[in-house]
Amino acid sequence: MVKKEDISIVLCGPAGQGIKTAEKIMVSIFKKAGYNVFATKEYMSRIRGGSNSTSIRVSSKPIRALVDRMDILIPLDSQALHHVESRITSETIIIGEKEKLVEKKQNHNYMIFDVSLTKLAKEAGGVIYANMVVVGIIAELLNLDRSLVYSYVEDIFSKKEKEIVSQNINAIDLGYKTSSELDLDLRINIQPKKTAKIKEQIMINGGEAVSMGAVAGGCNFIASYPMTPSTSVLTFLAQQGKRFNIVAEQAEDEIAAINMTLGAWYAGARGMVTTSGGGFALMTEGLSLAAMLETPLVIHLAQRPGPATGLPTRTEQGDLLFALHAGHGEFPRIIFTPGTLEDGFYLTQKAFNLADKFQIPVLILTDQYFIDSYYNIPAFDFSEIQNKKYMVKTNKDYQRYALTKNGISPRGIPGNGDGMVVVDSDEHDYDGHITENLAIRSKMVDKRWQKMNEMVQEALPPEIIGPQESETLVICWGSTVNMVKEALHHINQNKTALLYFKQVYPLPSQTLPILKRAKKLIIVENNATAQFAQILKTQFNLDIPAKILTYRGQTFSVEELEKKLRKVIL
């Protein structure tokens, strides 16, 4: 039977059937009702057809990670059933049109509750309402107050015709009715506890966390070229552009995007680009330019599996070493790898300030899984949010690249003061003008690297989650953190802790002592070559023999990690 306090619901069907809308509605109303909610989706690179799925967890306790387990599956067609077949167990409750899902003669032991979604949808006003029938079914199973569902649906469809709103409501009602006629035991057994304070929390996904962090960091310019899975950040900032004074421009290509953004920073704006692997490859020339000009820059790089076009809509952590080494020439940079929504927000906000302070590129490395995953979190704490102004008013003798103790030359902007702000992609003198004076060249290289001292001092240390003095450390970075955390929680072994890196470059000096203290190191990465382990090897000459890797285009599930971790820990 279904576990009582943590239910996993999977909705699967062809693209274009409103799965995304159903997901958005369900996560919002479940949260409003006071449940902890997690949702993530996996989808194909197509507009219609195929099989896409969303996995939603509803729980009494906070949950933030993907599980394989499916307590309730709602497949919209037989292909959908096939798509998630490996996750079906004898305990999975399948709700759908039995005839459509399995052939009569087919030998199966699926627990299917026959519900004709199409018929009900047609009854409500058309086949397109099947997704809303599903919303009604699930809402009833979770004992949700109908008025809460109504008001949310009315709110999101407020700009549509009245008839459309009422047909959606009809579909939900039919879902409720159908569900209430299903086996009673089933309903009794799925009752996560509600928590009042969750209603006050926010429900966002990774793309929104990064976007909101950008606004909080004073971002007022974004130029990018659409590329899955990075586009949601461009979309968010474009849609909120008027509200928050942001210029959002879709550039002709990634090369234009990064050069526009550098132009904007040069003039005094705070800009960012959002892209994925292939687009970032085109941007590397501009990344190198940012370094030479010492013009700040924030890059959001949402990873997907490569090489080349790879798996456009899927997830991987395969671009870490690329991000670290991208760009011709030698120059410092910062790479953040947020794994939680909180870090997505706070680190993006911080990225703008660090880029501005050190006049360097700051990269925020996420991935499709992170971008598309939702869960409820307490509203962000703004009390510590500060945007420092680093620009100076120039005087008549202003020199853009004046030598200073820490390598940071005061940055002026054109039109603010009596000086001239001269920046050049060629090696340049203190004024910014082109030079081939090789003595100055050496000084400029030293000056650019000089900034590394403070950058290392300010680097964020890895977070130890679990017993501080553990013998075994499970190392991870970025979006795998929540799966590792939950898996370790299940293993419940008091000598093992998680070491989560949210900044992978530069690494702070505390890193090595933490790693050396442990007797056993295990690394978890969503790539084929353990790229972060390679960084640790290069930097600290440290070997990590136990590597848990996956590179099939999905991230780890909690169950998969638990199994693999048990093997190496116990």
Q: Is 434:441 a contact under the CB 8 Å cutoff?
A: no
Nearer to other proteins, 331 or 505 (CB): 331
> What's the closest the beta carbon of residue 425 comes to other proteins, in angstroms?
5
> What's the closest the beta carbon of residue 263 comes to other proteins, in angstroms?
3
Nearer to other proteins, 268 or 461 (CB): 268
CA angle 73, 76, 78 (to 5 degrees): 90
- Binding flag, residue 282, other proteins (CB under 8 A): no
Q: Is 64:38 a contact under the CB 8 Å cutoff?
A: yes
- Phi, psi torsion values for 367, nearest 5 degrees: -155, 175
Nearer to other proteins, 122 or 433 (CB): 433
- Phi, psi torsion values for 50, nearest 5 degrees: 70, -160
- Binding flag, residue 159, other proteins (CB under 8 A): no
Distance CA 156, CA 298 (A): 33
**Quick one: tokens of 549?**
């890797």
- Binding flag, residue 182, other proteins (CB under 8 A): no
- Shortest CA distance to 195 belongs to which of 5, 374, 35? 35
Distances (CA, A) of 180 to 26, 72, 183, 191: 18, 15, 8, 15
Q: Which stretch binds other proteins (CB under 8 A): 162-170, 235-243, 464-472, 554-562?
A: 235-243
- Binding flag, residue 427, other proteins (CB under 8 A): no
Nearer to other proteins, 50 or 226 (CB): 226
Total of chain residues touching other proteins, rule CB under 8 A: 62
Burial category of 511 from C-beta neighbours within 10 Å (exposed 0-12, middle 13-18, buried 19 and up): buried
- Binding flag, residue 456, other proteins (CB under 8 A): no
Residues 236-265 touching other proteins, rule: CB under 8 A, are 240-247, 249, 251-253, 255-257, 259-265
> What's the closest the beta carbon of residue 91 comes to other proteins, in angstroms?
38
Q: Which stretch binds other proteins (CB under 8 A): 19-27, 89-97, 284-292, 449-457?
A: 284-292
DSSP 53: E
Distance CA 338, CA 232 (A): 17
Residues 312-351 touching other proteins, rule: CB under 8 A, are none
> What's the closest the beta carbon of residue 227 comes to other proteins, in angstroms?
17
Distance CA 231, CA 45 (A): 14
Distances (CA, A) of 236 to 102, 175, 208, 216: 41, 32, 7, 13
Single out the residue of 121, 144, 186, 215 in contact with other proteins (rule: CB under 8 A). 215
Q: Which stretch binds other proteins (CB under 8 A): 39-47, 417-425, 514-522, 549-557?
A: 417-425
Q: Is 496:488 a contact under the CB 8 Å cutoff?
A: yes
Q: Which residues bind other proteins (CB under 8 A)?
A: 202, 204, 212, 215-216, 218-221, 223, 240-247, 249, 251-253, 255-257, 259-269, 271, 285-286, 289, 293, 379-380, 382, 385, 387, 413-415, 417-426, 432-434
